[in-house]
Amino acid sequence: MAIDFCVDYACEAKQMLGADTLLGLVQARAAFDATRTTAGRRGEQEFWTRVVRGPERDHIEMVTIGNLRRQSNRLIEFTADCDTCPANVRGEPVGCFGRITYPIDAPTERYLAAGASAIAQTPEPSAARSFVEWIDEGPVDGARVRRMREVAGRGIRFFELPRPVEVESVDRTSSSVEAAPAVTTDQLIEMMFFAFPSRSGGFHFSVPRDALISHRAFLDFVLNELDLGHRQAELADSTTFDQLRLYARALAIAEGLHVDLLVD
């Protein structure tokens, strides 16, 4: 399970197949690569896999290693120009795609909360502050992420933490910091990935080009300016933290190309 994202930059492969079909092939390659590390899975052997399309949509289906391999190999036909593509985030074939794997780990979630709190308590206006203020003042209530946490009892783990982390906010009527937190990481994560529904094929959400600057500025502060402090050791081993760096790079590339970043 993962958050898949793609820089929505037009190329021959996207024009021929569509971004949604490419997403399916990329997911098949990820699944095939995972099976190669599992002993005893070869050729056309069938196995059951759980397909999760959100907190309320999951099912079990039968797949074969051979079918995953064939879908994965289809990508080779469409990757000749990837090396020189300006949307190549990862520097490899189909590099305009990336993913953040579940579960989102606890150290990263706590660090995101600390970053949002630090930004909220800085009175100077900035793109990063606009990101946090939009959560506080806008329609992002975190309900989708809250539902994702609640399905942990069904064996689906989207997050290591069972409850969100509270984020201190700012009183808009004065320069003082409110004692009671007004935002949680449920809202923060929803804003990062799931705030803007998309109609682009297999991608259900996007970060539209008008929102890219605030998303990028927020992550740039959290990843590059916020003092790691006592969290440095635990974040050094955080897969989620490393993957957020890739996501931040995708945001910056999409902003530079004036295109949306698709998210699923």
**Mean pLDDT by 10-residue block, N- to C-terminus, for the chain (264 residues)?**
90 86 80 63 51 52 67 75 91 90 93 92 88 82 90 81 84 46 86 86 87 96 83 84 95 96 93
Tokens for 140, please give them.
């992002």
| Alpha-carbon gap, residue 226 to 221, rounded angstroms | 6
Question: How many other CB atoms sit within 10 Å of the CB of residue 260?
Answer: 22
What is this structure's pTM?
0.82
Strands 166-167 and 183-184, sheet pairing: antiparallel
Tokens for 64, please give them.
């074969």
Tokens for 127, please give them.
């793109």
- Residue 180 has what pLDDT? 44
Tokens for 2, please give them.
């993962």
| 206: three-class secondary structure by DSSP | strand
- Residue 189 has what pLDDT? 96
- Residue 216 has what pLDDT? 96
Q: Residue 97 belongs to what H/E stretch?
A: strand 97-101
**Checking phi first, is residue 224 left (phi over 0); if not, alpha (psi -120 to 50) or beta?**
alpha
